[in-house]
Structure 1
Amino acid sequence: MAFRDLREFIRALEKEGELFRVKETLSPILEISEVIDRVSKLPGGGKALLFEKPEGYSIPVLANMLGSEKRIKMALGYENLEDIGWKLYKLLKPEIPGTFLEKLKKIPELKKLNDSLPKKVKDGPIRENVKTKNIDILDFPILKCWPLDGGRYITFGQVITKDPESGIRNVGLYRVQVLSPTELALHWQIHKDGNHHYWKAKKLGKKLEVAIAIGGDPVLSYVASAPLPPEVDEYLFAGIIREDGVELIKGVTVDLEYPAHAEIVIEGYVDPNEPLVDEGPFGDHTGFYTPVDKYPKMHITAVLHRNNPIYLTTLVGRPPQEDKYIGWATERIFLPLIKFQLPEVVDYHLPAEGCFHNFCFVSIKKRFPGHAYKVAYALLGLGLLSLEKHIVVFDDWINVHDIGEVLWAWGNNVDPLRDVLILKGPIDVLDHSTNSVGFGGKMIVDATTKWREEGYTRQWPSVVEMIREVKEKIDRLLVDPRSSLRELFRT
């Protein structure tokens, strides 16, 4: 089911008991963040929060929108998120039909793809209010999230640019610091497409137009965070998920399109000839403040919003936060693509506690000596997985989502002298542990069963397990109403 806009999703959340309305008047300076932080750390992620009375504003604030498995499944419209991954796989790896009959069979798939294409419309709710003069971005209740933050930050905007050479659109999720009523700092990290567009514009001596959309169908907020290949338009991906194209409307002062049903849109440009500006500090998803650094400045040329807009935000900080569930969705959605590239992969897990880039646990069907290293090297060559700091490879029967099982296998199967490799490579720029920003060490750990060909000279022990016949007997007793064991395990 596709949601037309954010308001329709809010109604669905309320119907499902997934929304809590905060009636108290709370300041967007730290106070709202404190409530979000406490709720997001509740078991299961807590509820979505609608702050009805931000202090000094009549505009409500929606937070923790995707902060549970149930809500992100509702937003994306799938119970099994890997199904989305297979759709993306078909888009990236289309099969060429060999016969006329096979071509005919492709017609329904082609129609679905055509239905998923973005739709350009001439008018939409976002045009209900347009301001090109006397702009003040702080007319909206933008949060200051943490005490040492350098200012207020837009944290859940869909930041839209186009490649200055190819014209391909990118929609990214980047933090945006408010510098003044009409100026913003864009945190375009070196590994992200927004940064590539900026440097291309600088090389060409052109200004880079930018639009920041807030709200709309919740799928749009998710796809802005998805690590898609540069050639895949995020709004096309959203249409594939929704099975209905996203309605886009052209900007008022920029030659960019953005969602016609967004709540708020900020238009403007970056001039690459201007000096970079100080951005930060910012309390980030690592749980630490990232320090002040130099980033591009955006000049606001227009602000549009719906009547009675809703300001959508997200809080990042020491995990778990809402991004735990956004990252989990990405992990599940992109598993099919990883399996296509590496058929031996059974599963993988990027734990939120590892901030998604510190640990990658992967299970494989091991077929030859050194197979664990082959998989780890390959993962380090796949998109943003190249930023992983520790990759630990397990046998196929290890549940990589069970931290107890992971530590058990890691601790028992690994000889650090033999099974650990230390490498160098690109690192997430938010990682403060490295001596250089964005570059440092990596560790590959082979936690699989070792073979003689890998230098293991002893007899590898068997895992302690009960025989099947005994397990089945006890299983039968547990469902027998006459059995005392049934009562024992019921408690």
Structure 2
Amino acid sequence: MARDLREFLKQLEQRGQLRRVSTMVDANLEVAEIANRLLQQGGPALLFENVKGASYPVAVNVLGTVERVCWAMNMERPEELEELGKKLAILYQPRPPKKMSQAIELGKVLLDVVKAKPGRDFFPACQQVVLKDEQVDLTKLPLLRVYPGDAERVITLGLMITKDPETKIPNVGVYRLQLQSRNTMTVQWLSVRGATRHLRKAAELGQKLEVAVAIGVHPLVIMAAATPLPVDLSEWLFAGLYGGSGLSLAKCKTLDLEVPADSEFVLEGTIDPKDTGVDGPAGDHMGFYGGVNEQAPLVRFHTMTHRKDPIYLTAFSGRPPKEDAMMALALNRIYTPILRQQVPEIVDFFLPMEALSYKAAIISIDKAYPGQARRAALAFWSALPQFTYTKFVIVVDKDTNIRDPRQVVWSIASKVDPGRDVFILPDNPFDRLDFATEKQGLGGRMGIDATTKIYPETDRPWAEPLQSDPDTAAMVDRRWAEYGLADLQRGDVDPNLFGYDLQ
């Protein structure tokens, strides 16, 4: 399996999923315009080998399809992701085994954990070139400016590594950084993220927060950083679980932090809690320009290391489809077993890409008692940290294909009385980038019970849904070719018709 970015790019090229562009291009708007056109049609990853004013090639669209995300996770089919999710569910909330089979399963997972333990590389590739102090010039990196209204260029796929000042437990996250000067950048993050907790603790202790940013890592490490984890579990360990063996880490040159040894670039710096800058505007995942934050944390970088002939890996946000949406579709599969463990009545759940992969959720339940749909929606919002910002939860019956929008809309239209089945929770902590809310950072949540109603939810008898005669349907299946229609579908709903189903 490929263990670094360049090996994964070779794998993509061998599979016909990477195109090299030797024509000179500009990182200011042009690269993103080209890449976005190919993203819209599920096109290949791109390696721009001749970027204006830069000495390094730029890789983009690397995770631009769910198929490529699966390859990054060392898998061929999206359904394999759910098997991985089952392993993670055991680690996320381990329970004493009640049967021998459960004990064996737990033992296998714990053995995988031992194999996944990260190792140390004392001569890492990421430190083949070391630049310090005045040598650090971020303007020489091929940072993208994506939209004409962006205030400056940005880093989007850098792993930001910080450490809890008290417990010393590291956190790895993916946050947008915006260029401010040759050695400073502002960072945009949400208040629930691990790095923000670290900065608050550093402020209480009167300390600066050490920050490392690793750019150009193997995509499975990015996926591990994007996975919701309890605060005491390591993203490095999960990267090893994803890859089947431990990740190789290296100690930073000037910080008490570890980074992937095969990173293409590593930036080392600090955040003084009192040191802020003006961040934004910048195009964001909501499909609008994010607002201006005049108190954004300011990172001062004093060291940059990189491999010889490094490759700059990047992506960009915006209205889906984008690479972050493809990652979210894959993570949806991984989350499912974890969510079922947290909320047992949930049969399946789906986060539509068109709803920004987290703003609306559709969950199906095996309904057994009145009020269960509302209970499931409330439990969903508290199950995992990233669901805090989900605005809409639609609950349907277990026989509804939640990835077929026709079935979901039919359930809403035929099973929902808005006065009875819609409930709203006002004034919840919210995404500051969501302009739909009246107050920044504070908004409502809506639950929609689109399940079949039972007493005492309704006093009316519920009619039976229309179904074909099963004997006739089976006979037509057998005779389909006789009708001269063998080249046409037999009326089955194509699960991929809308691009939703990953199976």
User: 2:170 — aligned with what?
Assistant: 169
Map Cα deviations across residues 331-387 of structure 1 (whole Å, 9 max, x no partner): 110100111111211111111111123211111000100000000010111222121
Alpha-carbon spacing, 1:400–1:101, altered in 2? closer, same or farther (3 Å)? closer
Map Cα deviations across residues 442-481 of structure 1 (whole Å, 9 max, x no partner): 1111000011311x23232222220110110110012x4x
Q: TM-score, normalised by structure 1?
A: 0.95
- Whole-angstrom distance in 2 between the partners of 1:232 and 1:428: 25
Map Cα deviations across residues 169-217 of structure 1 (whole Å, 9 max, x no partner): 1000100011111101111221211111111100110110000001222
Where do 5+ consecutive residues of structure 2 fail to align?
492-503
After superposing on structure 2, the runs of 4+ consecutive aligned residues of structure 1 that deviate more than 6 Å are 97-106
Q: TM-score, normalised by structure 2?
A: 0.92
Displacement of 1:98? 8.2
1:38-57 maps to which residues of 2 (within 5 A)? 38-42=37-41, 45-57=42-54
Map Cα deviations across residues 72-128 of structure 1 (whole Å, 9 max, x no partner): 000001231011211212222335468999989866544321120111221111111
Is the counterpart of residue 27 in structure 1 residue 30 in structure 2?
A: no
User: 2:469 — aligned with what?
Assistant: 467
- Quick check: 2:395–2:451 contact (8 Å CA) kept in 1? yes
- Whole-angstrom distance in 1 between the partners of 2:106 and 2:369: 38
User: 1:189 — aligned with what?
Assistant: 190
- Quick check: 1:285–1:355 contact (8 Å CA) kept in 2? yes
- Quick check: 2:87–2:109 contact (8 Å CA) kept in 1? no
Displacement of 1:328? 0.7
Displacement of 1:267? 0.4
Map Cα deviations across residues 274-314 of structure 1 (whole Å, 9 max, x no partner): 2x211111101111111101211011010011011100001
User: 1:441 — aligned with what?
Assistant: 444
Q: Secondary structure at the match of 2:255?
A: coil
Letter in 2 for 1:443: M
- Quick check: 1:24–1:53 contact (8 Å CA) kept in 2? yes
Displacement of 1:419? 0.7
Is the counterpart of residue 277 in structure 1 residue 274 in structure 2?
A: no
- Quick check: 2:53–2:140 contact (8 Å CA) kept in 1? no
Q: Secondary structure at the match of 2:143?
A: coil
Letter in 1 for 2:210: E
Map Cα deviations across residues 255-280 of structure 1 (whole Å, 9 max, x no partner): 10001100000000001132x21111
- Whole-angstrom distance in 2 between the partners of 1:489 and 1:211: 54
Where do 5+ consecutive residues of structure 1 fail to align?
none
Is the counterpart of residue 409 in structure 1 residue 411 in structure 2?
A: yes
- Whole-angstrom distance in 2 between the partners of 1:414 and 1:468: 28
Alpha-carbon spacing, 1:262–1:41, altered in 2? closer, same or farther (3 Å)? same
- Quick check: 1:344–1:365 contact (8 Å CA) kept in 2? yes
Map Cα deviations across residues 400-425 of structure 1 (whole Å, 9 max, x no partner): 11112111111111111111101121
User: 2:391 — aligned with what?
Assistant: 389
Which deviates more, 169-178 or 18-27?
A: 18-27
Alpha-carbon spacing, 1:471–1:378, altered in 2? closer, same or farther (3 Å)? same
Letter in 2 for 1:22: V
User: 1:15 — aligned with what?
Assistant: 14
User: 2:213 — aligned with what?
Assistant: 212
- Quick check: 1:115–1:243 contact (8 Å CA) kept in 2? yes
Q: Secondary structure at the match of 1:32?
A: helix
Displacement of 1:489? 4.8
Q: Secondary structure at the match of 1:221?
A: helix
Displacement of 1:218? 1.5
- Quick check: 2:291–2:433 contact (8 Å CA) kept in 1? no
User: 1:317 — aligned with what?
Assistant: 318
